[in-house]
Amino acid sequence: MNFFETVYTMVSKIPRGRVATYGQIARLAGNPRASRIVGCALHTCPASSGIPCHRVVNREGRLAPADAFGGPEVQRSLLEAEGVPVSGEGCVDLKNYCWDGREHAPE
């Protein structure tokens, strides 16, 4: 399995109502210094894949830049529909909503 496929596998395990950071996914995928590559993998992931890329935020809990995942408003609405509040500044409270990294069955 290549690194992108491993990233997609890890992101698929993030449960509804939780988020993970790019760095966390990089660590889980076996390359803790590859958070930017995780971003690249998610940016190129087809929307039709069913992989919940919108559940990945930066290390501060900020949503993705304007061109990713359909833009921050799309990411915001997807997260909020799953019960994850997003602040007016576009941040998720990582203390309360960050995934613990444990195995979860895909939805």
Three-state secondary-structure class, residue 98: strand
In this prediction, residue 84 carries a pLDDT of 98
Note the Cα 56 to chain centre separation in Å.
1
Can you read off the two tokens belonging to residue 5? Answer: 């496929």
Distance CA(64)–CA(87), nearest Å, equals 14
pLDDT tens sequence for the chain (107 residues): 799 999 999 999 999 999 999 999 999 999 999 999 999 999 888 878 899 999 999 999 999 876 666 777 889 999 999 999 999 999 999 999 999 987 664 55
In this prediction, residue 97 carries a pLDDT of 97
In this prediction, residue 87 carries a pLDDT of 96
Please name the CATH architecture into which domain 3-97 falls.
Orthogonal Bundle (1.10)
Q: Domain map of the chain by residue range?
A: 3-97
User: At a CB cut-off of 8 Å and minimum separation 6, what does 55 contact?
Assistant: 11, 14, 18, 19, 20, 79, 82, 99
User: At a CB cut-off of 8 Å and minimum separation 6, what does 72 contact?
Assistant: 63, 64, 65, 66, 90
Can you read off the two tokens belonging to residue 36? Answer: 């930017």
pTM of structure = 0.91
**Active-site annotation, residues:** 53
